[in-house]
Amino acid sequence: MAVAETGGMDPVAAFALIGAIGVGSQWLAWRLRMPAIVLMLVAGVLVGPVFGLIDPQRDIGALAGPMISIAVAIILFEGGLTLNFHTLRDAAQGVMRLVVIGAPLGWLLSALALRYGAGLSWEASAVFGGIMIVTGPTVIAPLLRQARMAHRPAALLQWEAIVNDPIGALAAVLAFEAVVALRTVETLGGAVWSLLVGIVVATVLGALGGVGLAQAFRRGYVPEYMKVPALFSAILAVFALADGVLHESGLLAVTIMGVVIANAKLPSYDELRRFKEHATVLLVSGVFVLLASSLDFTTLAQLDWRAVLFVAAVVLVARPVTVLTAFAGTDLPWRERLLIALTGPRGIVLVAVAGLFGTRLAELGIEDGGLIGPLAFALVGATVVLHGFTLVPFARWLGLADRAAPGVLLVGGSRWTTAFAEALEKAEVPVLVTDPNRSHLRRAREVGVATYFGDILAEAAEQNVAFVSYATLVAATDNDAYNTLVATDLGPEFGRTNVYQIARMNSEGARNSLPETLGGRRFGSAETYAALDRKLAEGWTFGTTRITEAFSVGDWRTRNPDGVIMARVRPGGEVKMDLDDEITKVTEGTRIITMLPPGAMQDNGAAD
C-alpha cells in the first residue's frame, strides 16, 4: 500500500480503497441479503477512526470537500430525475397525501425533534429536518422485497421514498440558503434579498440547463455516444454557475435541472437514467465510506442520551404523527396505516447531504452543525437495523405480508402459461399471469390463477403490479419481438439471470441471431411458443416431483426419458429455470416441475 510523505496513505491508494470498500460492501450485502448501508457504515468506521487506514483530511486533503460537494450534487440531480409529474398525478391518493401533507409536516416535526430532542439550534434543526423527509429509496426497496408485503402499503412506501427524495433535498437546500443569507448579510432585508436572488438564479439556471439539454437531445444536436458525457458536464456547469451567485445554491439548481429533464419525455430517458443510477451507486458508496471514515470519536462522544431521545422521537412520534395525519379521513385500513406509520428507514442520501450541510454550517460559525453528521449516522443506523429486523414479523403480525417465497411473473396468457402457472402454484410458488389482451387471460382466471390485464411495460403496471413480490420473469407471448422487448427492458429490474424467454421462431444463423444483451435466458427444452402449445394439444401434461434421498433426479430421468424439466423450486422457495440438459445435480427437497408426454407415469414415487 502506497504511503504518502506525511505518514498517511497515498491519495490514489485512498481513492482505490474507498471505492473497493463501498462497492464491496454493496456486493456483500447483496449476497447476505441485508441492507448495504449497515456494512458500509461498519467498514467506513473500521478503516477510519478505528484502524486509521484512511483519514480524508490527511490523505486527500483540500480535494475532499469539493469532491463530496460534486458527488452530492449528482446524487441530488438523480433525485430530481425521479420526480415525474405525470406519474405523480396518476399516483394513488395516499401518495399525494404523503407528499402534500406529509412532507411539510414531517419537516416541521423533524425539526422539533432535533431542537428539543437532540438540543440543536433552530438553524441546524431547520436544515437537517428538511433532508429527514427522505425515507431512503435505496433502503426501502430491499426491505419491501424481503418482506413481500401486500401491494398497497408496499406501493405507498416505495412511492413516498421516490417522490420525497427530491422534495427533501429541496427543503434542506432552501433552509440552508436561508441560514447562509441570515449569517452573511448584516440586515434582514439584505438577507431576504440575497436569498431570493440565489433561489431565482438557481431556479433559472437549473430550468435553462434542463430545457437546453432536453432540446439538444431531442433535436439530435448531441450524438448518442456523447449524451451521458454532455449530461454530466452540464450538471457540473450549472452547479458551478449557481454556486458562484450564492454558496451551495448549486445543489438547488441541479435538483431542479433533474426535475425538468425527468418531465421532458426524452426518448433516451431510460438510458440516461440507468447510467446515472450506476454512477450514483458508485458516488453514494464513496461518499458514505468517506464520511464514515471521517467520523471523530470525540465528536461521537458528544452524542449523549439526547441523541437516543432524538431517534426515539423521530421513530415513535414524528413519523407516526406525520403518516396518521396525512391519511386522516381516508378509507385506508388501520392496519396499513399503522404499518406505514411505523416504517420509515433513512438511507445513504440523508447521510451524504446531512454530512455536507453539517460541515458548511460549522464553517458558518454554527457550532452544533458538526453534530449533524453523527446524528445522521445514528438515525440511519438505528432505523435500518430496527426495520431490517422487525418489518417482516411486524407485517406478518398485521396480516400484510406474504409468507410465500418470491414468485414468478409470466408475461403472456395462453394455454401453456396457464398450465405452467398451475404447476408452479402446486409447488407453492406465487404466480401472476399478465397480458394486454383480456381474452388471453380467460383460461387463467377460470382456474383461479392471479392475472393482470395490461401491458407489463406501461407506467400503469408500475403502480398496479407489486414487482417486489416476484423474483423471476418469463416472457412467453406468441410475439417473439415483444418477448425480447420485455426481457430486455425488465432485465435490470429483475436481474439478467432471473429473466427468461421462450425460444424465438427464427433464432438460428447469423442473419437472425440476437446479441447477448437482448432478450432473456433460455429454459426447459428451449422450444418455441408454437412447439409448446402443440405439445399440450398432443396430450403433454405438467407434473411436480419432489427430489429425495431415495429418489434422485437421475431416477426421474430413467423413468421419464422423454420428459422435460422446466423449472426447479428449491426448499427455500427459490425458482431456477435452467436448460434441461444443464441440470445434473438437484439438492434433496427440491421440487422439479416437468412436462411429460402422453402416457408417462405421473406418480414416480416422489410426486407431490
pLDDT of 290-333, one tens digit each?
A: 877 877 777 667 777 888 999 999 999 999 999 999 988 888 88
CA geometry: angle 141, 145, 148, nearest 5 deg: 130
**pLDDT band, very low/low/confident/very high, at 90 (cuts 50, 70, 90):** very low
Region 147-154: mean pLDDT is 72
Question: What is the rounded CA–CA span in Å between residue 138 and residue 198?
Answer: 30
- Chain centroid, CA 63 distance in Å: 30
- Per the CB < 8 A criterion, the answer to whether 473 and 499 are in contact is yes
**pLDDT band, very low/low/confident/very high, at 519 (cuts 50, 70, 90):** confident
**pLDDT band, very low/low/confident/very high, at 550 (cuts 50, 70, 90):** confident
- Per the CB < 8 A criterion, the answer to whether 418 and 444 are in contact is yes
Looking at residue 401, the DSSP 8-state letter turns out to be: B
Residue with cell 457540473: 236
Torsion of CA 242, 246, 252, 258, to 10 degrees: 0
Res 572 pLDDT > 60: yes
pLDDT at 3 (0 to 100): 46
pLDDT at 294 (0 to 100): 78
Check residues 224 and 515 and name the one with the higher pLDDT: 224
pLDDT of 403-417, one tens digit each?
A: 667 789 999 999 999
Question: What is the rounded CA–CA span in Å between residue 304 and residue 370?
Answer: 15
Question: What is the rounded CA–CA span in Å between residue 96 and residue 156?
Answer: 10
**pLDDT band, very low/low/confident/very high, at 24 (cuts 50, 70, 90):** confident
**pLDDT band, very low/low/confident/very high, at 513 (cuts 50, 70, 90):** low
Question: What sign results for the dihedral spanned by CA atoms 507, 508, 510, 514?
Answer: positive
pLDDT at 160 (0 to 100): 79
Torsion of CA 383, 99, 154, 395, to 10 degrees: 50
Q: DSSP string covering 56-115, please?
A: HHHHTGGGHHHHHHHHHHHHHHHHHHT--HHHHHHS-HHHHHIIIIIHHHHHHHHHHIII
Q: Which three cell numbers stand for residue 460?
A: 400503469
Question: What is the rounded CA–CA span in Å between residue 203 and residue 253?
Answer: 6
Which has the minimum average pLDDT: 95-104, 278-287, 466-475?
Answer: 278-287
pLDDT at 323 (0 to 100): 92
Q: Which three cell numbers stand for residue 436?
A: 394486454
pLDDT at 561 (0 to 100): 84
- Per the CB < 8 A criterion, the answer to whether 350 and 379 are in contact is yes
299's enclosing H/E stretch is helix 297-300
Q: How big is the chain by its Cα radius of gyration, in Å?
A: 27
**pLDDT band, very low/low/confident/very high, at 587 (cuts 50, 70, 90):** confident
Res 287 pLDDT > 60: yes
Give start and end residues of each alpha helix (H) in 398-467: 415-426, 442-446, 459-464
**pLDDT band, very low/low/confident/very high, at 68 (cuts 50, 70, 90):** confident
Residue 439 buriedness (CB in 10 A; 0-12 / 13-18 / 19+): exposed
Res 279 pLDDT > 90: no
Question: What is the rounded CA–CA span in Å between residue 111 and residue 124?
Answer: 9
pLDDT at 1 (0 to 100): 46
> Per-domain residue ranges for the chain?
11-397, 407-596
Average confidence score pLDDT of the chain: 81
Fold of 11-397: Na+/H+ antiporter like fold (1.20.1530)
Question: What is the rounded CA–CA span in Å between residue 502 and residue 523?
Answer: 7
453: left (phi over 0), alpha (psi -120 to 50) or beta: beta
pLDDT at 516 (0 to 100): 64
CA proximity to 61, closest of 8, 113, 136: 8
Question: In the CATH scheme, what is the code of domain 407-596?
Answer: 3.40.50.720
pLDDT at 442 (0 to 100): 92
**pLDDT band, very low/low/confident/very high, at 86 (cuts 50, 70, 90):** low
Region 352-380: mean pLDDT is 83
- Per the CB < 8 A criterion, the answer to whether 597 and 563 are in contact is yes
- In sequence order, the 6+-apart residues with CB closer than 8 A to the CB of 509 are none
- Residue 372's CB is within 10 A of a number of other CB atoms, namely 29
Region 361-387: mean pLDDT is 84
Question: What sign results for the dihedral spanned by CA atoms 137, 139, 142, 143?
Answer: negative
Torsion of CA 477, 468, 588, 564, to 10 degrees: 0
pLDDT of 481-509, one tens digit each?
A: 899 999 988 887 788 889 999 988 765 55
Question: What is the rounded CA–CA span in Å between residue 573 and residue 402?
Answer: 13
CA 384 vs CA 103, 343, 372, 389: distances in Å: 20, 10, 18, 8
Question: What is the rounded CA–CA span in Å between residue 301 and residue 291?
Answer: 17
pLDDT at 422 (0 to 100): 93
Res 166 pLDDT > 70: no
- Per the CB < 8 A criterion, the answer to whether 379 and 346 are in contact is yes
Res 213 pLDDT > 80: yes
Check residues 296 and 455 and name the one with the higher pLDDT: 455
Question: What is the rounded CA–CA span in Å between residue 168 and residue 170?
Answer: 5
Question: What is the rounded CA–CA span in Å between residue 307 and residue 500?
Answer: 49
Q: Which three cell numbers stand for residue 583?
A: 441440470
pLDDT at 315 (0 to 100): 92
Q: Amino acid letter at 117?
A: G
CA proximity to 203, closest of 247, 260, 244, 165: 260
Looking at residue 451, the DSSP 8-state letter turns out to be: E
pLDDT at 419 (0 to 100): 93
pLDDT at 4 (0 to 100): 47
Looking at residue 148, the DSSP 8-state letter turns out to be: T
Q: Which three cell numbers stand for residue 497?
A: 439471470
